[in-house]
Amino acid sequence: MPHTHGQEEPAGQGRPTGPVGAGPMAAAVLRVLVVAAGLAAIGYGIHGLVDGRPATNPPNAAAWLIGGIALHDLLVVPATMAAGFVLGRLVPAPYRAVAQGASVVSAAVALASLPLWRGYGGSADNPSVNPLPYGRNLGIVLGLIWACAAVVIICRALHARFSSR
């Protein structure tokens, strides 16, 4: 249907009617605002680190920051890439993203709870510091993550099987 001046096109045909996006200028303004907010947060954190010098120990914080970056770049990124590569070769394409997502979430949960399930910070004379069986609980959470991934994979397989008939 040709478009004539003064008429709106029916929905779903041709170009969308009305404003679709705010345009590149709005995206640039938003980007500047987000960067400014991020820099302000970094500045606030550095100010708190330096201002509370006895409690924060800036040299120790700098060592942890540098160590964390090095650990991330030298261990975490290559391990994630290797796991993604292996999953990419072993898992069929329709299920690959689910398996990779479950792997990333599993790794994040395991690393975030590492001090708990390894027992760091606890003491034998105070059992209330780490009172729960964190290793078992981590196993339960990881099992639930992979059970959800399995449900998604099964649903995709069934959908593919029955929609191709």
pTM (predicted TM-score): 0.62
Contact 94, 156 (CB under 8 A): yes
Determine the residue type at 15: R
pLDDT of residue 75: 93
Contact 73, 131 (CB under 8 A): no
| Backbone torsion region of residue 15, taken as left when φ is above 0, otherwise alpha when ψ lies between -120 and 50, otherwise beta | beta
Distance, CA of 46 to CA of 81 (rounded, Å): 32
Q: What is the mean pLDDT of each run of 10 residues along the chain (165 residues)?
A: 53 55 84 98 92 84 92 92 92 93 94 86 77 91 98 94 82
Among 157, 160, 164, which Cα is nearest to 91's?
157
Contact 117, 135 (CB under 8 A): yes
Cα torsion 50, 52, 53, 58 to 10°: value is -50
pLDDT of residue 3: 52
Cα torsion 63, 64, 69, 75 to 10°: value is 110
Residue 123 — φ and ψ, nearest 5°?
A: -140, 150
